[in-house]
A and B are shown apart, each in its own frame.
Chain A
Amino acid sequence: MSTPAPTRSPAASPAPTPPGPVAQAAQSVMSARMPTLAVTALLVITLAASIVLQPDFFSAYSLSASFATILPVATIAAAQTIIVLGGGIDLSIGTIVTLASAVSVVLMDGDNSRLPLALAAGLATGAACGLVNGLVVAGLRLQPIVATFATSSVFGGLALLVLPQPGGTASPVLTQGFGMVLAIYIPVPAVLLLALWLAWRLLRRHRFGQYLYAVGGNADAAYTSAVPVSAVRVFSYVAGGTVAALAGIALLADSGAGDPTLGTELTLGSIAALVIGGTRLRGGSGGVGGALVGAIVLSLIQGLVFFAGVPTDAREFVYGCIIIVAIALAGLLTSRNGTRRTAAARGKAGTA
């Protein structure tokens, strides 16, 4: 279980940035702390409720099953967060996930010896889709929401071409490895989730990780500070696409088959998870850690609605209402949206 560490200032290390971005970064840290606390509180509440309602929540089987469903959702949320932090948004991310998993499942076709090739092809597909998005958004300078809506149509169509119907067989090694439980209590997906978080910490320490925050926070200031803004934007989409491909493979390993029609649902879930995790939709503030916890909270809530004995027809409605409330709470805490306030007012909002 990964709880997010308190966010550190992206400009804390001696990067050659002028005082403007530094002050902004400091402010974003001030605002990032409250959401981090809030999402941790949400996690504790949902966990406690799950333990009460599901007596065998901590059994090896149940843990393994929960993490197996959480991992794909969390990975997509992580991918979306990388893109949103850089100031973009990717409505095509769900179709990238399905396209990458379709390519992998068709190539592996239930054969263990073709697994490496299939995985490499899946990742390459995700990176290529990300590159297309990045070039369209940063190169052609289209507005990310409509541009990625257009590319989602393309990727979704390609996924249908590759795999016209849900089906295909994942290689047995992949599905068995995914379902394993290490050292009695630690399922493989949990280890992968931790690995994902560590990889993010590594990226964040890297120059590009800091550039990501700089570009998302204020592209003009970043530009005048000699940050390669376009390159960073393209990079964020490529990285996001690659991570989305990982999510596709995780989905494949979990279900054992590909499904070309999941697209939109996954995209919407990823945005909800990152907002609950305290990432600002305008970019430049937040982090993958929060998004991972947000995704865990979302899955737990879904399980809770199921185990609380809500009638089948009402489940979706109850789930939707809980999500709206969670989002509204996150919105109150992340706040600082709407009007451009003066520095003083902003400081007040940050400490409140």
Chain B
Amino acid sequence: MSVSTAEPGAPEQPPAPTRPPLLHRLVRDPVVISGSVAVLLWGVAALVSPSFADWNQLVTLMTVASFLGVISIGQTLVIIAGGEGIDLSVGATATLSAIVASRFMDGTNDGFLGAVLLALGACCVVGVVNAVGVLAFRVPPLVMTLGMIAVVTGFIRLYTGGRPEGSAAPLLRTLVAGDTVAGIPGVLWLWLGLSVLVVWLLRRSPFGWRLYAVGANRTTAYLSGVNTAAVKFSAYVLSSLFAGVGGLLLLGYSQNVYTSLGTDYMLNSVAAAVIGGTALIGGVGGYLGTVIGAILLTVLDSLLRIMQIGGGEWGDAPRQIIYGLVLVTVLTAYGRQKRLRQ
């Protein structure tokens, strides 16, 4: 990433703080680019199928995007924390949380709080194991979280015997798909609240500053008195925790669980963060971009579905192909690394 929002004016000379013109900065800003692409895709979708522009459709779209958005919160934190940080176990963790919660809720509101706490507790355990592997055993995060997928799916198999039981509590269903406040379902308010919280956390809180410091340069952060291990540890635990919250929301939406519930979120959460301008090298990016990235990916997926690409005799194949091609195109717009010759 040669240009980023997180280091404004960094390449400039200190005595002459003339930043590049506003327009120029906007054109190179990942958040602006992916936001425009998302709006563009949404416009195309509305042209193809006018009902796509309906308020209800929009709300549904945003609801679907919110699952990816919430799961990507933790992914963004882990990536910003640097050291090749990445959490591939978010999909499996989300499934785990949904499965534990559904068994304890079992379609009633009685054990709601207990079930939620238990599910999130299980997710925290996953996060702690990830963090210990990465920090104490020095396993590269990609490999550690990859290995945890095998452990978590294995545990799910052991726990359920291959047949997940139970269903979502009515309360959870109401939150995700039911009653609305000002025409917007609770899950979107929740996402909005979490987004404001996370953006505040990253930009205005000491934890956020430390996170960027550790991600940008661990040694300098350490020498400046930041407890780098604690920061990274909390990033991994938060990642699993938010994956668990995402899993609960998914449970409320689908009402029943299956063992591949969260699988698709594993790499899509990384893609959402990267599309939003969070660089995998760490220390760069933010959650606002990830929100836009999650919306973009969801709009793209729905667009391909309503254009009825896929289905019929070709099956799912053309949609997958186009999805990949668009992803490469969007990434090419700005997600590029530095040239060697500089």
Chain A interface residues (CB < 8 Å from chain B): 89, 91, 136, 140-143, 145-147, 149-158, 160-161, 164, 219-220, 223, 229, 268, 271-272, 275, 281-282, 313-321, 323-324, 327-328, 330-332, 334-340
Q: Which of B30-38, B196-204, B321-329 lies at the binding interface?
A: B321-329
Is B138 within 8 A of A337, CB to CB?
A: yes
List B150-170 residues whose CB lies under 8 Å from chain A: 150-155, 157-158, 161-162
A residues within 8 A CB of B316? 157, 160
> Which listed residue (A158, A281, A324) contacts B317, Cβ 8 A?
A158
Closest chain B CB from A135 CB (angstroms): 10
From residue B326, how far is it (CB to closest CB) to chain A in Å? 8
User: Which B residues touch A282, using CB under 8 A?
Assistant: 84, 140
**Given A150-B328, A153-B324, A160-B316: A145 and B140 within 8 A (CB)?**
no
Could you pull out 15 A-B pairs where Cβ atoms are within 8 angstroms?
A89-B142, A141-B337, A142-B328, A142-B335, A146-B270, A146-B274, A146-B331, A154-B324, A275-B139, A281-B143, A314-B158, A317-B155, A319-B150, A331-B144, A339-B219
Is the pair A331, B133 in contact by a Cβ cutoff of 8 Å?
yes
Question: In the complex the two chains form, is B151's CB within 8 Å of A317's CB?
Answer: yes
Query: Which of B140, B149, B157, B279 is A313 in contact with, Cβ under 8 Å?
Result: B157
Known contacts A146-B280, A229-B340; A331 and B143 CB within 8 A of each other: yes
A317 touches B320 (CB 8 A): no
Contacts of A142 in B (CB 8 A): 328, 331-332, 335-337
Tell me, in angstroms, the Cα distance from A229 to B274 when the chains sit together.
24
Q: How far is the CA of A332 from the CA of B332 in the complex (A)?
A: 37
Nearest Cβ on chain B to A177's Cβ, whole angstroms: 32
Are A154 and B325 within 8 A (Cβ)?
A: yes
A282 to B149, CA, bound (A): 21
Chain A neighbourhood of B323, CB < 8 A: 153, 157
Q: Is the CB of B317 within 8 A of A161?
A: yes
> A154-B324, A157-B321 known; A339 and B222 CB under 8 Å?
yes
Is chain A's binding surface mostly helix, strand, loop or mixed?
helix
Known: A313-B158, A320-B150, A327-B147. A339 touches B317 (CB 8 A): no
Bound: A337/B141 CA distance, A: 10
- Looking at B222, B319, B320, B341, which has the most chain A CB atoms within 10 Å of its CB? B320
Q: How far is the CA of A324 from the CA of B151 in the complex (A)?
A: 8
Q: B158: which of A140, A150, A219, A317 is its contact (CB, 8 Å)?
A: A317
Q: Is the CB of A272 within 8 A of B219?
A: no
Q: Which residues of A contact B144 (CB under 8 A)?
A: 324, 327-328, 331
Verify A143–B335 contact, CB threshold 8 A: yes
Cβ-defined contact, A332 with B270, below 8 A: no
User: Do the beta carbons of B154 and A318 come within 8 Å of each other?
Assistant: yes
- B324 in contact with A328 (CB, 8 Å): no
Contacts of A158 in B (CB 8 A): 317, 321
**Known contacts A143-B274, A153-B327, A316-B158; is-contact A164 B150 (Cβ 8 Å):** no
CA separation between A141 and B331, bound complex, in Å? 10
Residues of B within 8 A of A335 (CB): 138
Q: Which residues of A contact B320 (CB under 8 A)?
A: 153-154, 156-157, 160
In contact, A151 and B133 (Cβ under 8 angstroms) = no
Task: Give 10 new A-B contacts, CB below 8 A, not counting A142-B332, A150-B271.
Answer: A89-B142, A141-B337, A142-B337, A145-B270, A157-B318, A268-B150, A281-B142, A313-B162, A314-B154, A324-B147
Among all A-B residue pairs, the 7 with the closest Cβ atoms: A317-B154, A157-B320, A153-B324, A331-B139, A320-B150, A316-B154, A154-B324
